[in-house]
Structure 1
Amino acid sequence: MRSLWNGAISFGLVNVPVKMYAATTDKDVRFRTLHRECHTPIQYRKFCPTCDKEVGADDLVKAFEYEKGRFVIVTQEELDALAVAQTRSIDIMDFVNLSEIDPIYFYKSYYLAPGDTGHKAYWLLRRAMEATGKIAVARIVLRNKQHLAAVRVLPECLSLALMFYPDEIRSAAPLAPKQEIQVHENEIKMATQLIESLSTPFVAAKYTDDYRAELLQMIESKIAGDAVTLPQAQQPGKVIDLMEALKASLAMVEEDRKARRPTGD
């Protein structure tokens, strides 16, 4: 596994050298766009409509549009100068309880392994975080952007999860019901029973991307020249009474449970 970033976790006057590794892999199936007539991959070129000509990478600059049609140029050197002081440091600001952070804030995860030096400091930080049950809220600069992050303890190593800043989270207030919906006590009881009957320990391996598997299978069949049979689209079910739907769901769960129950000799 190749490290993406080398630096140090900084808290107080303590620096803990670390190496950062990607914790996730993008497995999206990606397509190329071809010319329908000859099946040649399409090229996307940069074109200036004012000068009426194609431009190269050396002719491009970054700019911020502060009014419609009005821009201020920002150089790469200026961007680098703003970030240079923090590009090699994960600066811990606070230690908090993980339960206090809504999962909506997290969006990308990395592993943090010990650096080439400072192994004792790494393990000291890890043991102290385990003992207190705390996670660290920190700042890190990646690709010229300052990110909020959470550092926590995994069984194998430390991890870092990038987080949205509070002003990047949209308010859900406009989606709140305008008036309270009356729900019968029996409906609540039956819905609770359904939730309890479907409750189980979380086992990540049981959740798979069925769409990607079917897509790859279809692609392999087309490469092999086999006929491809497309699945029929499911028709939306008719709307039925809520209580009847809950009863049917509970019955379905019970039947599934009986089917999986081991039979005696």
Structure 2
Amino acid sequence: MHTMWKGSISFGLVNIPIKMFTATENKDIRFRYLHKECHTPVKYKKYCETCGREIKEDEIIRGFEYEKGHFVIMNEEDFESAKAEVLDRAIDIIDFVNLSEIDPIYYDKSYYLSPQQTGGKAYNLLRKAMNDTGKIALAKITIRNKQSLAALRVYKNTLVLETIFYPDEVRAINNIPNLPENTDVNEKELDIAKQLIKQLTTEFKPENYKDDYREALQEIIENKIQGAETIKTAPKPTAHNVVDLMSALQASLKDKKKETKKKTKKVTAKKTKGAS
């Protein structure tokens, strides 16, 4: 696993040298854009419309557009000045809070943390203390010139750092159009909705979920590589032609009960077969 960041966890007067690794990976299938006529990969050039020519990398600077067509030019000294008061190589713990107090909307990316050679004892101490108290740490970290708020928590036998958005980065819900303001509901519909939720409630097992689109796309790609005909999957059954909310809820509940009965019959049949 590639080390993407080295630094330390600052915990009071304790300093824990650590390495950081990306905990998740994007499994999206990526494609190149090709010229339809000859299948040559398409390149994108940096072009200046005013000068009417392609420009080189060293001719490009950064600017902030504060009004349409008006920019404040930024140079490297400006960025270095902004970074001067930021701890580049420290995960600085600020507070300890309960995990339940942070809404999932704030979470961004996950990273595994492991101790460097001299940090094992202090790492284990912090991990055990956090695990026993059930608390997570709020900290600040700078990754690739961007300072982020982060949550530090115990995951299985390791410490995980989750970068989280600052409050002003989460859009206000009062900007969302067409939210129903009336909270009154039909009691019968509510009762059936609760029954449906109960029927669908299960233990969370991440291995039960997969990206169906990615798998189908990968199969098509493999078939094309092998020169085989692609397989067209059968369309999913269409939804019931329900005309109101109550009918939709009742139909969903009925379908779920049928599905549960089928699963029960299969399990019973397997047990009977095994016994014989």
Q: TM-score, normalised to structure 1's length?
A: 0.93
Q: Secondary structure at the match of 1:112?
A: strand
Q: Which residue of 1 is the match for residue 7 of structure 2?
A: 7
Q: Secondary structure at the match of 1:8?
A: strand
Q: Secondary structure at the match of 2:141?
A: strand
Q: Does 1:131 align with 2:132?
A: yes
Looking at structure 2, the residues matched to 122 and 80 of structure 1 have their Cα atoms a distance apart, in angstroms, of 31
Q: TM-score, normalised to structure 2's length?
A: 0.89
Amino acid at match of 1:52: G
Amino acid at match of 2:208: K
Amino acid at match of 2:254: A
Decide whether aligned partners of structure 1 residues 230 and 80 sit closer, same or farther in structure 2, where only a CA change above 3 A counts: farther
RMSD, aligned α-carbons: 1.9
Deviations 1:133-176 (A, max 9, x none): 11011110111111011000111200000111100111112447
Equivalent residue for 2:196, pick from 169, 183, 194: 194
May I ask how many residue pairs the two structures share in their alignment? 265
Q: Which residue of 2 is the match for residue 170 of structure 1?
A: 171
Unaligned runs of 5+ in 1: none
Looking at structure 2, the residues matched to 138 and 22 of structure 1 have their Cα atoms a distance apart, in angstroms, of 18
Equivalent residue for 1:221, pick from 184, 204, 223: 223
Q: Which residue of 1 is the match for residue 255 of structure 2?
A: 252
Deviations 1:28-52 (A, max 9, x none): 1111111111110011111111221
Looking at structure 2, the residues matched to 213 and 229 of structure 1 have their Cα atoms a distance apart, in angstroms, of 13
* Preserved CA contact (<8 Å) 1:83 1:145: no
Q: Which moved more, 1:226-235 or 1:192-201?
A: 226-235
Looking at structure 1, the residues matched to 186 and 61 of structure 2 have their Cα atoms a distance apart, in angstroms, of 62
Unaligned runs of 5+ in 2: none
Q: List structure 1 runs of 4+ shifted beyond 3 angstroms.
A: 174-179, 229-239
Q: Which moved more, 1:23-32 or 1:216-225?
A: 216-225
Looking at structure 1, the residues matched to 124 and 81 of structure 2 have their Cα atoms a distance apart, in angstroms, of 33
Looking at structure 1, the residues matched to 142 and 224 of structure 2 have their Cα atoms a distance apart, in angstroms, of 44
- Taking only the aligned residue pairs, the percentage that are identical comes to 50
* Preserved CA contact (<8 Å) 2:8 2:15: yes
Map 1:16-31; keep pairs closer than 5 Å. 16-31=16-31
Q: Which residue of 1 is the match for residue 205 of structure 2?
A: 203
Q: 1:81, CA displacement in angstroms?
A: 4.5
Map 1:65-104; keep pairs closer than 5 Å. 65-83=65-83, 85-104=86-105
